[in-house]
Structure 1
Amino acid sequence: MSRFPFPVAGAALTLFVAGCVAPTSGGPPRPQAPTAPPSFNPAGLQSVLGHTAKALEKAFGAPDLDIREGSARKLQFSSAVCVLDTYLYPPARGGDPIVTYIDARLPDGRDIDRASCVAALEKRREKR
């Protein structure tokens, strides 16, 4: 007779078999452009939304962070006032990726109005 009752051995066998099952996906998910319209008020964001990375660099200077994942790109611009994250995706009709979504926060992580952050970054660029 075994020292361990059957339920323990059965549970161990179940965990072993579960660990041997191959994942069903063919790799990491591919980034896709958002299909829903922005869930924020785009007023004051005309200098960012729909623009290319080149236009953003002209407006704000070199990004502090540039991350690429597949066809998606994230550019981050920061100042003492705020941090602006811009998300660029290629348009459906083709061409250079454009900003389709932005997010803004204070340097300590609290939310800030997106348009206020854009204005602050534009003023920072003008002072340079």
Structure 2
Amino acid sequence: MPSLARSRFLAVLALPLLGACATVPAPSAGGNTPDRPGSAQPAPPPTRPAPPPASAGFRAPRVMDLPGLEGVIGADAEALERTFGTARLNVWEGDARKLQFTGEACVLDVYLYPLRPGAEPTATYVDARRASDGLDVDRAACVAALRRR
């Protein structure tokens, strides 16, 4: 019988471990429990956080500063089209804009971003590539070639 006593002893020791596995129902959001119906105040209505100010996600762009790009960097879309003609592409993405100008020698991509919240986008970055094969070319040389048209 020592083994029966030992089994009972082990069973008694295991009870607290089994109790730790049990779940306890959480009180409802309104605080009403089965033993106290209607004793809590109703839950407040859900609230929405205030929308962030328009400038909350704004990041000022880096402005390219390379020789030969004077008159391009800092120009708005109208000034660029006066200089290079009608853009082949005019793509808006949020408050940013991309204009693409093409010639026989090269393709010029001009990226326009607002410098402060709500401002008109101006050219801050330029990229250029050969029209024939898409290889990078000197930006200033492409600007000069497209200005001569």
Q: TM-score if structure 2 supplies the norm length? A: 0.57
Whether 2:108 is the aligned partner of 1:80: answer no
- Contact preservation (8 Å) 2:62, 2:124: no
- Contact preservation (8 Å) 1:59, 1:122: yes
CA change 1:84–1:34 in 2 (3 A) is farther
Greater helix fraction, Structure 1 or Structure 2: 1
CA distance in 1, matches of 2:60, 2:119: 17
Q: Which runs of 5+ in 2 are unaligned?
A: 1-56
Q: Which runs of 5+ in 1 are unaligned?
A: 1-30
The alignment's C-alpha RMSD in Å is 2.0
Residues 68-107 of structure 1 mapped to structure 2, 5 A cutoff: 68-92=92-116, 94-107=118-131
- Contact preservation (8 Å) 1:32, 1:72: no
Could you report, residue by residue, the CA deviation over 1:27-69 in whole angstroms, capped at 9, with x for unpaired residues?
A: xxxx97664453xx61010010011000000000100001001
Provide the aligned length of Structure 1 versus Structure 2: 92
Structure whose CA Rg is larger: 2
Identity of aligned residues (%): 50
Q: TM-score if structure 1 supplies the norm length? A: 0.65
